[in-house]
Amino acid sequence: MKDGPNIAMLGALIGDPARANMLTALMSGKALTASELAAEAGITLQTASAHLGKLQTGGLLHQRKQGRHRYFSLADEDVASVLESMMGFAEKKGHSRIRTGPKEPALRKARVCYNHLAGELGVQMFDSLTARDFLIEQDAALTLTDSGRQFFTDFGIDFEPLKKSRRPLCKSCLDWSARRSHLAGSIGSALLASFYKRGWAARIEGARIVAFTKKGEAAFTQSFPV
């Protein structure tokens, strides 16, 4: 075997249909039980437990116990970023599993990607921030400028808890539906939480869709103009 990162192992872990379904379900950012993930994958609980063990050993999942239940979530934002990039590549090549119907436009417009906003509105926000030089993207790296820090502070983002996080402050994430970047990192997460708190938007139960109210979308566009 050649030296270097073992992408074959990761590819095999993600490539199994049942495991892929479970990982996709966890892109909602919610921790789910083995039973819930088994239902998402359409397999038995015993089979799901075996798959979850492999994913956890491979460093893709984090497990925590609460009472009698075990809850699983993606190990970190890097895992979510890889999955979102793979979704984008699959979409680009025409390998889509999205069912056409009423939910599809809403999913493409605004959805949660692990813990930040994705979809058309997520891309709009990213473009608005970079166009005003609040964020500068160069050589696959994203830098927060002084004017950007002031903008986020005025928006109500508290940087003190963000400084304590091990997560990057800001990073770009390739959007699978728009095939362009949206904002991830602790700022991206804080912004999405702020939209919920302001009443601009809410998560649709049982889906990754983020539904903005009419007033909320107008306020969003005012804050992040195209």
Report the pLDDT averaged over residues 185-197: 96
pTM score over 0.85: no
- Residue with the bigger pLDDT between 1 and 105: it is 105
Whether 220 has a pLDDT exceeding 80, the answer reads: yes
**Residue 102: per-residue pLDDT:** 52
User: Taking 90 as the threshold, does the pLDDT of residue 98 lie above it?
Assistant: no
Closest CA to 158 of 168, 169, 171: 169
Q: 167 φ, ψ to 5°? A: -75, 155
Give the strands of the sheet with 61-66, arranged side by side: 32-33, 69-74, 61-66
Q: Which CATH class is domain 7-75?
A: mainly alpha
Q: Which residue has the higher pLDDT, 54 or 97?
A: 54
Q: What is the pLDDT of residue 99?
A: 56
* Range with lowest mean pLDDT among 32-46, 76-90, 113-127: 76-90
Contact 167, 185 (CB under 8 A): yes
What is the C-alpha separation between 27 and 220, in angstroms, rounded? Answer: 23
Segment 49-57 shows an average pLDDT of 95
Structure confidence at residue 97 as a pLDDT band (50, 70, 90): low
Q: Residue 57: pLDDT above 90?
A: yes
Among all chains, which residue has been given the structure tokens 């994958």? 41
Neighbours of 56 (CB within 10 A): 14
- The pLDDT confidence band at residue 134, using thresholds 50, 70 and 90, is very high
Please, what is the average pLDDT of the chain? 90
Q: What is the pLDDT of residue 139?
A: 77
Q: Place 167 in a pLDDT band, splitting at 50, 70 and 90.
A: confident
pLDDT number for residue 12? 93
Model confidence at 24: pLDDT above 80: yes
What is the per-residue pLDDT for 1? Answer: 52
Domain locations in the chain as residue ranges:
7-75, 100-223
Label each residue of the chain as H, E or C.
CCCCCCHHHHHHHHHCHHHHHHHHHHHHCCCEEHHHHHHHHCCCHHHHHHHHHHHHHCCCEEEEEECCEEEEEECCHHHHHHHHHHHHHHHHCCCCCCCCCCHHHHHHHCEEECCEEECHHHHHHHHHHHHCCCEEEECCEEEECHHHHHHHHHHCCCHHHHHHCCCCCCEEEECCCCCCEEEEHHHHHHHHHHHHHHCCEEECCCCCEEEECHHHHHHHHHHCCC
Split at pLDDT 50, 70, 90, the class of 196 is very high
Reading phi first (left if > 0) and then psi (alpha if -120 to 50, else beta), residue 140 is in left
Q: Could you tell me if 210 and 200 are in contact, meaning their C-beta atoms sit under 8 angstroms apart?
A: no
